[in-house]
Amino acid sequence: MSSGKSQNNNPLLSKSFNTPYETVPFESINEEFYMPAFEQAFEEGRREIKLIAENPSSPDFENTIEAIDKAAKLLNRVSNVFFNLNHAETSIRLQEIARKVAPLLSDFDNDITFNQKLFQKVKHVYDMRESLNLSAEQKTLLEKTYLRFFRNGATLGKEQQNKLRNISRELSELTLKFDDNVLAETNSFELHITEEEQLSGLPEPVKESAASEAKSKSKEGWVFTLQAPIYWPFMKYSHNRQLREQMFRAMMSRCLKNNENNNTDILKRIANLRLEKAKLLGYSTHAHLMLEERMAKKPDTVFDFLNRLIEAAKPLAGKEIDEVQKMVYDDGSDFKLQYWDWWYYAEKLKKKLYDFDEEQYRPYFELRKVRKGAFALAARLWGLSFKPTNNIDVYHPDVEVYEVFDEDGSFLSVLYLDFFPRKGKSPGAWMTSYREQEIIEGKNIRPHVSLVFNFPKPSEDNPSLLNFSEFSTFLHEFGHALHGMLSNVSYNTLSGTNVYRDFVELPSQLLENWATEKNFLVMFARHYLTGELLPAELIEKVIELRKFNVAFNTMRQVNYGVIDMAWHSINQTVVESVELFEDKATEPAKLLPEVKGTMISPAFSHIFAGGYSAGYYSYKWAEVLDADAFKAFREKGVFDRDTAKKFRENILSRGGTEDPMLLYKRFRGKEPDVDAMLERDGLK
**pLDDT tens string 196-210:** 999 999 999 899 999
Contact indicator for 491, 69 with CB cutoff of 8 Å: yes
Which domains can be identified in the chain, with CATH numbers? 7-155 (1.10.1370.40), 172-187+264-355+549-684 (1.10.1370.10), 189-252 (no CATH), 363-523 (1.10.1370.40)
Buried b (16+ CB within 10 A) or exposed e, 141-169: bbebbbebbbbbbbbbeeeebebbbebbb
pLDDT tens for 436-451 read 999 999 999 999 999 9
CA distances to 27, 47, 104, 117 from 112, rounded to whole Å, are 34, 11, 13, 10
**Whole-number Å distance between alpha carbons of 225 and 540:** 33
Which of 411, 447, 445 is CA-nearest to residue 431?
447
pLDDT tens for 329-388 read 999 999 999 999 999 999 999 999 988 888 889 999 999 999 999 999 999 999 999 999
Residue 3, pLDDT above cutoff 70: no
CA distances to 295, 298, 504 from 622, rounded to whole Å, are 10, 17, 8
Name residue 331's amino acid: D
- Which residue numbers are catalytic? 477
pLDDT tens for 168-206 read 999 999 999 999 999 999 999 999 999 999 999 999 989
Contact indicator for 244, 141 with CB cutoff of 8 Å: no
**Whole-number Å distance between alpha carbons of 629 and 668:** 7
Residue 13, pLDDT above cutoff 90: yes
pLDDT tens for 225-258 read 999 889 999 999 999 999 999 999 999 999 999 9
400-405/385-388 β-pairing: antiparallel
Percent of the chain surpassing pLDDT 90: 92
Average pLDDT over residues 636-659: 97
pLDDT value at residue 638: 96
pLDDT tens for 80-123 read 999 999 999 999 999 999 999 999 999 999 999 999 999 999 99
